Amino acid sequence: MTTAAMLSVALVLDAVIGEPKWLWARVPHPAVLMGELVDMLDRKLNTGPNRRGKGVLAALALILCGFTAGKLLSLPGGLIEILVAAILIAQRSLTAHVAAVAKGLRSSLQDGREAVAMIVSRDTTAMTAPQAARSAIESGAENLSDGVIAPAFWFLIAGLPGLIIYKMVNTADSMIGYQNDRYQDFGWAAARLDDLLNLVPARLTGLLIALAGGQLRHWRAIASDAKKHRSPNAGWPEAAMARALNSALAGPRSYDGQMRDFSWIHPDGTKSASAETITRSVILLWRTWAIALALTVAIAAVF
């Protein structure tokens, strides 16, 4: 069974089953184990002098662990590879979390804030309804890249070792890849490596969203907007989603009680996003997933 064929099955399996709570209530999710490994490296190595060098060693350790785990899990054969890939691809859970914000906003602003606080790191207690809606849409677009397209891409390129290495690095970036006193040196290697591994998948995700939303004719504008984003990669899926919804995304927001004046993505779009806008974004997330699946099936058929 080819890698593309296994990926096709894994994509469908994740979409149908998602994250069964009964299973992860009994055994730790692989992402939790990855997080524990990153936390251990942080506690052991992020001290004393030369923290950047120690951060490089931590990143190399994560790569080695990911490669070894991927090779060992590949030994039993295709079924295990499919199951592990399905577990580490997160389309169903992603769309469920984004849709929960729309459901919350339809109930009350406070419910919407509580739902969006589950998926973003920015301050949510004083968010307006449009701010909560935009946050959910941005998270959905960015995590489509990080949680679906990038893992699928690296599985297709390098099999299970490639997928697990990507997830290891991405988990590390989400935990230690911050520009603050504790992590600006130690987390430097993980953050830069994550940028590198997402370079192609983020742009591919933007292209797929643009295709799903009928916005390929605006690709130059999408590329221009993407470059305004503070992240070298997250701007691509967000810019494509903004155009598809005709909604302005990003812009000023608060972190740790401090307002940050980030640039708007597609500033000519409406800034009054709502629960309905979130629902439209979820539909686009599924359309993009369907296009990615169709391309994977086509690759499997050709090769």
* Under 8 Å between Cβ of 156 and 163: no
For the segment 186-203, what is each residue's pLDDT rounded down to a tens digit?
999 999 999 999 999 999
The CA-based dihedral angle spanning residues 182, 183, 186, 189, taken in that order and rounded to the nearest 10 degrees: -170
Cα of 61 vs its chain's centroid, Å? 22
Q: What pLDDT is stored for residue 143 in this prediction?
A: 96
In this predicted model, what pLDDT tens digit does every residue of 8-66 receive, in sequence order?
A: 999 999 999 998 888 888 889 999 999 999 999 999 999 999 999 999 999 999 999 99
User: What pLDDT, on a 0 to 100 scale, did the predictor assign at position 25?
Assistant: 85
pLDDT in tens, 116-170: 999 998 888 989 999 999 999 999 999 999 999 999 999 999 999 999 999 999 9
> pLDDT band for position 262 (50/70/90)?
confident
Residues with Cβ < 8 Å from 25, sequence gap 6 or more? none
- Residue 230: the pLDDT is 87
Instruction: Kindly state the percentage of the chain with pLDDT values over 90.
Output: 86
Q: Which of 165, 187, 192 is nearest to 175 (CA)?
A: 187
Cβ-contact 181, 47 below 8 angstroms: no
Per-residue pLDDT, 171:
97
Structural domain spans, the chain: 3-302
For 272-296, what is the mean pLDDT? 97
Q: Is the dihedral of CA 194, 131, 149, 30 positive or negative?
A: positive
55-96, pLDDT tens digit by residue?
999 999 999 999 999 999 999 989 999 999 999 999 999 999
Amino acid 139: pLDDT: 96
SS3 assignment for the chain = CCHHHHHHHHHHHHHHHCCCHHHHCCCCCHHHHHHHHHHHHHHHHCCCCCHHHHHHHHHHHHHHHHHHHHHHHHCCCHHHHHHHHHHHCCHHHHHHHHHHHHHHHHHCHHHHHHHHCCCCCCCCCCCCHHHHHHHHHHHHHHHHHHHHHHHHHHHHHHHHHHHHHHHHHHHHHHHHCCCCCCCCCCCHHHHHHHHHHCHHHHHHHHHHHHHHCCCHHHHHHHHHHHCCCCCCCCHHHHHHHHHHHCECEECCEEECCEEECCCEECCCCECCCCHHHHHHHHHHHHHHHHHHHHHHHHHHHHC
Report phi then psi at 249, rounded to 5. -120, 175
Q: What percent of the chain has pLDDT over 70?
A: 100
CA dist 174 and 213 (Å) reads 28
In this prediction, residues 83-112 reach a mean pLDDT of: 96
Q: What is the rounded CA–CA span in Å between residue 138 and residue 98?
A: 10
User: What's residue 252's pLDDT?
Assistant: 86
Residue from 283, 194, 209 nearest 239 by CA: 209
Which residue has better confidence, 199 or 230? 199
